[in-house]
Amino acid sequence: MTIAQPALAPAPSSSVGGYAFALVGVAIWAGWTVVTRMDMRGTMAITDLVALRFATAGLLLLPVLLRRGLPLKRLGLGGVLALAGTAGAPYVLLAGGGHAFAPVSHSGVLICCGVPLATALLARLFLGERFSRPRLIGYGLILAAAAILMLEAVLGAGLGPLVLLGDVMFMAGALLWASYTVLVRHYGLDPLHSTAIVATVSAAFYLPVYALFLDPGIASLSWGTIAIEAGFQGVLTSIVSLLAFSIAIGRIGASRTSALTALVPAAAALLAIPVLDEWPSFVQVIGILTGTLGVALASGAIVPPGQARP
């Protein structure tokens, strides 16, 4: 599904601002993969990270939910739980937890490029959506990129025996987020309202379980670490990136915004070099480039010669 473009081209200042907001979102997403990988290689457990993320986002977005309401008549209890179950704690446990086993170059492709592919598959199955040839080519390239990285994990290539587990977790996380995307489109929810539902419902369900059964480790962290993680995971990733991409879509359109999100895998891999001393292999570079081109084609940002724009 594509978002209709405005009949008139946006003003230059609006376009510049739109690109700026999109790049802010790209920077946050790329930073999330690197910071989460660093956390998983350190002393923080994924269960602690999830608690900090939803405690912070849930508290900040509670006023939004109180003002907009919990749409039980519209979604039903099952719909509310489905939103929280796809974009909430289960997603972060899988997508974030996979960073304990697999490198940033794998997560960038399998999550950021895997989401549009999984979304397309679900939209075809449940919404009857059809795709143009350029989009199908793009999805094929994304699938090829995933296969390249999965093959590297299977063959080992000096990555360690659990890389494949991390890759599977990334792909499962991408499928969950894609399911959330399809649900939001199905229910017609705006981004901020749906995010408020996910954050507050996730906090309500996850935090008691975390406190009672998951051996909380937050108490052992310094206040500085807690503040940094809460700010990055709960504010920047959960709220600011959402608003940045939403504003970008409004100013420069969905296709251009989606094309810029294709920069996330490359940006994350480059950022991982100075921060984590994690250099992508030749195979990973090929996977990143293939996945990036696939997202650009699938989004309609670039169109092969002789083809109509999707």
CB atoms within 10 A of CB 289: 15
Structural domain harbouring 246: 13-299
Q: Is residue 142 part of a domain?
A: yes
Interval 42-70: pLDDT, tens: 778 899 999 999 999 999 999 999 999 98
Task: Give which of 228, 244, 242 is closest to 56, Cα–Cα.
Answer: 228
Task: Give which of 174, 43, 160 is closest to 102, Cα–Cα.
Answer: 160
Interval 95-111: pLDDT, tens: 999 999 999 999 999 99
Q: Is residue 7 part of a domain?
A: no
Interval 173-188: pLDDT, tens: 999 998 988 888 888 8
Q: Is residue 63 part of a domain?
A: yes
pLDDT for residue 133: 85
Interval 251-269: pLDDT, tens: 877 667 777 788 899 999 9
Q: Is residue 304 part of a domain?
A: no
Could you tell me the pLDDT band of residue 3, with boundaries at 50, 70 and 90?
Answer: very low
Q: Is residue 309 part of a domain?
A: no
Mean pLDDT on 225-234: 90
Tokens of 216: 């909380």
Tokens of 84: 């929280």
Residue 309 has pLDDT above 80, yes or no: no
Q: Is residue 242 part of a domain?
A: yes
Q: Is residue 310 part of a domain?
A: no
- Percent of the chain scoring above 90 in pLDDT: 46
Distance CA 282, CA 272 (A): 15
Q: Residue 119 in contact with residue 178, Cβ under 8 Å? A: yes
pLDDT for residue 117: 87
Q: Is residue 95 part of a domain?
A: yes
Total domains in the fold of the chain: 1
